[in-house]
A and B are shown apart, each in its own frame.
Chain A
């Protein structure tokens, strides 16, 4: 990349690094792994920077790369995730911190693709069409994955976030 392109990349990186890290964190539930995934996504972006025609679509490109990497990793035998019915325990008495910890733990009990749908919709604020585009699947799949993911989340969280039955 030439100097102008490097500068443009650096500006984009500054603006988006923490947002991408937050998304990665809710996708995988661990800040160290989140940083690894976020860094890998930015490295891939740096390598493909000149090939991406539409720089308005950078967010979507990074989002798609990140989600794919986290979901792929969850399928590796040595890190294959298992859903659980056990309610996660919290070790703090501070209510908002407890809710935070509980939500992150509860998300880890949701299957990876359903979790990705929930994170894209509720953290990134994407609608059904935007989520489908990010994941490369149909809107119908997003709707069903959202319903299944919310059901899994409700099963773990109970009423700790209020009545979530109308969500989705």
Chain B
């Protein structure tokens, strides 16, 4: 610390004293392990559910294609998104290991959601986002408006921090045939749109908090969108 060692030492002593009588801890190592395993199971279930739903959608598509071919109709295969971006964009200090549950396999995309309204905090999409961008795995959900938008889309809206940069990070999946929401292109925003493996569109948008001084993950937004596309 620079200068003023007496004042610094007094402050350090006061800080230590202020926290030197903790009450009995409210959690144990077993509590931590249980919660960790519970979250792991939840994420596995979400991914398995997403894969099953996507498989049903794909099976339906294949059946339709076969029927069309037999009746002389023309079909066109959706161009799958490149799997080059399917790897995780993990934090530098993280070694990529084989995850406990593999991410949604490329070629079996998550696809449209069921339900009448788009869930602004779609748990299946969140699991994919966490897998692709582990830095936001502990990010808090951002408050969102409760407007019902139909169309089978998915959204995740997070309050994120990227170093000292903070802001709102949104991932929006627009189902095939649906019109994507308009996103502004202005100072303090970074956004990228990429076609997904299911024929939809993924839009990643990062907005800076007013006093943050920059856009979180701003330079990486296109890369993140490309990495998400094969899973959606």
Q: What's the least CB distance linking B105 to chain A, in Å?
A: 21
Chain A positions 147 through 165: 1 when the CB is less than 8 Å from some CB of chain B, otherwise 0: 0000000000000011111
> Which A residues, 56 to 97, have Cβ-Cβ distances below 8 Å to chain B?
57, 61, 65, 68-69, 71-73, 75-77, 96
Q: How many residues of B contact A (CB 8 A)?
A: 49
Q: How many residues of A contact B (CB 8 A)?
A: 68
- Bound CA span A77–B168, Å: 14
- Chain A residues within 8 Å of B22, by CB: 18, 21-22, 25, 31
* A136/B163 in contact, CB under 8 A: yes
- Chain A residues within 8 Å of B12, by CB: 122-123, 125
* B8/A167 in contact, CB under 8 A: yes
Q: What's the least CB distance linking A28 to chain B, in Å?
A: 11
* A65/B32 in contact, CB under 8 A: no
- Bound CA span A85–B164, Å: 26
- Chain A residues within 8 Å of B72, by CB: none
Identify B10's interface contact among A13, A113, A136, A161, CB under 8 A: A161
* A46/B32 in contact, CB under 8 A: yes
* A168/B2 in contact, CB under 8 A: yes
* A13/B32 in contact, CB under 8 A: yes
- Bound CA span A76–B158, Å: 11
* B15/A123 in contact, CB under 8 A: yes
* B97/A26 in contact, CB under 8 A: no
* B93/A50 in contact, CB under 8 A: no
- Bound CA span A107–B12, Å: 13
* B161/A72 in contact, CB under 8 A: yes
* B7/A9 in contact, CB under 8 A: no
Q: What's the least CB distance linking A88 to chain B, in Å?
A: 12
Question: Is B64 at the interface (CB under 8 A from chain A)?
Answer: no
Identify A40's interface contact among B14, B19, B138, B143, CB under 8 A: B138
> Which B residues, 90 to 116, have Cβ-Cβ distances below 8 Å to chain A?
90, 93-97
Per DSSP, chain A at the interface is: helix
Among B35-43, B45-53, B170-178, B179-187, the stretch in contact with A:
B35-43
- Chain A residues within 8 Å of B70, by CB: none
* A18/B25 in contact, CB under 8 A: yes
* A161/B95 in contact, CB under 8 A: no
Tell me the nearest residue of chain B to A22, going by C-beta.
B19
Identify B27's interface contact among A10, A39, A165, CB under 8 A: A39
Question: Is B146 at the interface (CB under 8 A from chain A)?
Answer: no
- Chain A residues within 8 Å of B16, by CB: 123
* A127/B10 in contact, CB under 8 A: no
* A167/B11 in contact, CB under 8 A: yes
Q: What's the least CB distance linking A140 to chain B, in Å?
A: 11
* B17/A99 in contact, CB under 8 A: yes
Identify A137's interface contact among B7, B27, B143, B163, CB under 8 A: B163
Query: What are 10 A-B interface contacts by the 8 Å CB criterion?
Result: A31-B23, A40-B138, A52-B93, A53-B93, A53-B95, A69-B138, A103-B14, A118-B15, A141-B164, A167-B7
Which residues of A pack against B, CB within 8 Å? Answer: 6, 9-10, 13-14, 17-18, 21-23, 25-26, 31-32, 35, 38-40, 42-44, 46-48, 50-54, 57, 61, 65, 68-69, 71-73, 75-77, 96, 99-100, 103-104, 107, 113, 118-119, 121-123, 125, 127-128, 135-138, 141, 161-168
Q: Could you list 19 further interchain pairs (A-B, Cβ under 8 angstroms) beyond the known A57-B93, A76-B140, A136-B164?
A: A39-B26, A42-B27, A47-B36, A51-B97, A53-B93, A69-B138, A72-B140, A75-B159, A99-B18, A107-B18, A113-B164, A118-B15, A123-B16, A127-B1, A161-B11, A162-B7, A164-B10, A164-B11, A166-B6
